[in-house]
Structure 1
């Protein structure tokens, strides 16, 4: 026997009750009933769209980072990570804050955008990542900036391998006097 029978019976009864109500209401004032149904339908669609697009709306309404003097606030992203945009040699590069990473780990594409010639790099180091061991090349970034905060001659590693995003590790985070959390916000202070 069909296991969906109770559900089908429920929906048929629901449709009959709703249909009976609509027929009764529409007899009194057809145009008013249609306007009300359209209004409720639009409200229902707006709610569905709002829930479906919440992450996109949140990322555009809430700023990805707030820089106020020597204080930086990074709201937690929907994936549970913290992201920050730094200017490397004047070029804005997105990073994921990774307290498990020792150094700044630059993707090759980001290193090139920051003016580093990756073709001349010597990949003599190694780093263990979630995807295995990768070769690294030590580099020095002339200028790292975020808001009014700037650092010169910052050491980093260019990673030879697949990184989805460059990583901001502990060697740079240690430059801050305070690295802490306030609810779902990471706070960096100098």
Structure 2
């Protein structure tokens, strides 16, 4: 059994410790639990209070982690705007994307009003934008979450979670969409399964990628 990916991820999480509020909170809670166990024999009330605080904090961290991970699954469309998790909505009308000469499906999209190119990638879990696109579209890294590690053609890179207020392409509009700012992508932007899985249908016919939303609306704009 190859454990190198496990140790690699562990090393990455440790290196990103100071940048993750959740990791810092979890470690702080564990320290409280240890202190509670140490003092409980001499100061029972204080020891129990520290251990209760530790347990409740760890439960809270676990819930936040589950919430963050559930955002990747369209069956759990949870929205908590107070902590930066708006509802993710994909709507509009059928959109057809022709296959490019390189064998990929490329489309033009507006990211918070900034026009740029995206590659549709059914193998990508998350929609991802480059550093440059994030800066031009005014996207900011989400604070406090778990560090994200992506595997790219240039190797493993650290990425920040963000939220796209509106992403439009063809007759489709996605709002409140989770994405990652991935420096390892270079100039490439990717539409991943966290958007595609929220569509009613994704199919390829005669060299065209056909995207059909669950709740068809009037065309938002002419298809590219």
Give the TM-score, by structure 2 length: 0.50
Alpha-carbon contact 1:123-1:160 (below 8 Å) kept: no
- Which of 84, 98, 101 aligns to 2:121? It is 98
Task: Find the structure with the greater CA-based Rg.
Answer: 1
Q: 2:205 aligns with which of 171, 179, 182?
A: 182
Deviation at 1:131, TM superposition (A): 2.1
Find the aligned partners of 2:133 and 2:166 in 1 and give their Cα distance.
14
From 169, 172, 177, the counterpart of 2:192:
169
Could you tell me whether the CA contact under 8 Å between 2:140 and 2:162 is conserved in 1?
no
Deviations 1:3-53 (A, max 9, x none): xxxxxxxxxxxxxxxxxxxxxxxxxxxxxxxxxxxxxxxxxxxxxxxxxxx
Partner of 2:110 in structure 1? Answer: 87
Relative to the length of structure 1, the TM-score reads 0.58
Q: 1:96 to 1:137 in 2, by over 3 A?
A: same
Runs of 4+ in 1 over 6 A off after TM superposition: 120-123
Match of 1:154 in 2: 177
Contact 2:199–2:212 (CA under 8 A) maintained in structure 1: yes
C-alpha deviation, 1:132, in angstroms: 1.1
CA distance in 2, matches of 1:129, 1:86: 22
- Structure having the larger proportion of residues in strand: 1
Aligned residues between the structures = 121
Higher mean displacement: 69-78 or 131-140: 69-78
Deviation at 1:117, TM superposition (A): 4.2
Deviations 1:138-165 (A, max 9, x none): 0011111224432221100000224241
**Structure 1, residues 45-95: CA drift from partner, whole Å, max 9, x if none?**
xxxxxxxxxxxxxxxxxxxxxxxx611111111100000112111111210
Superposition RMSD on alpha carbons, in Å? Answer: 2.2
Q: Is the 8 A contact 1:87 1:145 kept in 2?
A: yes
Q: Which residue of 1 aligns with 2:162?
A: 139
Alignment partners' CA distance in 2, 1:76 and 1:148? 18
Structure 1: 5+ residue stretches without partners: 1-68
Asked if the contact 2:108/2:169 (under 8 Å) is kept, the reply is yes
